[in-house]
Amino acid sequence: KAGVTQTPRYLIKTRGQQVTLSCSPISGHRSVSWYQQTPGQGLQFLFEYFSETQRNKGNFPGRFSGRQFSNSRSEMNVSTLELGDSALYLCASSSDRGSAHSPLHFGNGTRLTVT
Amino acid sequence: QKEVEQNSGPLSVPEGAIASLNCTYSDRGSQSFFWYRQYSGKSPELIMSIYSNGDKEDGRFTAQLNKASQYVSLLIRDSQPSDSATYLCAVKGGSNYKLTFGKGTLLTVNP
């Protein structure tokens, strides 16, 4: 089974621009979560989607948004980029949103650098 | 109070020793507990999950859970240099199933 696929792997953007990151979950997985990872803050939860609905949201400003498509693929968008948005963005999928025991499986991440 | 807390580390152990990694959590309703390993520049990789009080063993790894004390730990026996990585504790909440991570403990195994 193919793992979680994130594109692109690396991005360099300028302050004020916007960016869209893409994630394809493991086949059959319907839940997709997004995390931001920085050296100082660790893994911070952004949001989780299940069956095209946002079920959970972290404490990030409205500049961070996401969506999920009917094939479970997900995108996240960051508008009006700030220098502090430079981070590794990780997407993870799990098999069953309804089960507390379903672990997350991570993609390789997108490294975003804002200059 | 932070939701999931881990030893700040770094933790350094000699090759062949037992490495002990600890984690506490604040949500008493938490149902699932996971340990992830993350090598530098890579994404987190699931190594253990535990749901019930007690010990769970998988090869050289043993996860221990004590829900009354809100404590979960990971023991790595016969530590190898290849075990050198950051170990992340993750806890899934009881109500919304959000997975919350600790900041991780950097483990270095010295040959």
- Using one digit for the tens of pLDDT, what is the confidence trace for B69-96? 999 999 999 999 999 999 999 998 766 6
pLDDT at B2 over 80: no
> In the numeric block, which tokens belong to residue A52?
């095209």
Contact A109 B45 (CB under 8 A): no
Which of A48, A55, A106 is closest, CB to CB, to B43? Answer: A106
The pLDDT value given to residue B19: 97
pLDDT average, residue stretch B27-51: 93
- Using one digit for the tens of pLDDT, what is the confidence trace for A31-89? 999 999 998 888 999 999 998 999 889 999 999 999 999 999 999 999 999 999 999 99
pLDDT average, residue stretch B10-32: 94
Three-state DSSP state, B81 = helix
Q: How confident is the model at residue A97 (pLDDT cuts 50, 70, 90)?
A: low
Contact A56 B34 (CB under 8 A): no
Which of A45, A105, A109 is closest, CB to CB, to B100? Answer: A45
In B1-111 the beta strands, taken as DSSP E runs, fall at 4-6, 11-14, 19-25, 32-38, 45-50, 54-58, 61-66, 71-76, 85-92, 99-101, 105-110
Residues above pLDDT 70, as percent of chain B:
95
Q: From B86, which residue of chain A is nearest by alpha-carbon distance?
A: A42
Contact B34 A90 (CB under 8 A): no
Q: Which residues of A touch B103 (CB under 8 A)?
A: 41-42
Q: From B93, which residue of chain A is nearest by alpha-carbon distance?
A: A100
The pLDDT value given to residue A56: 86
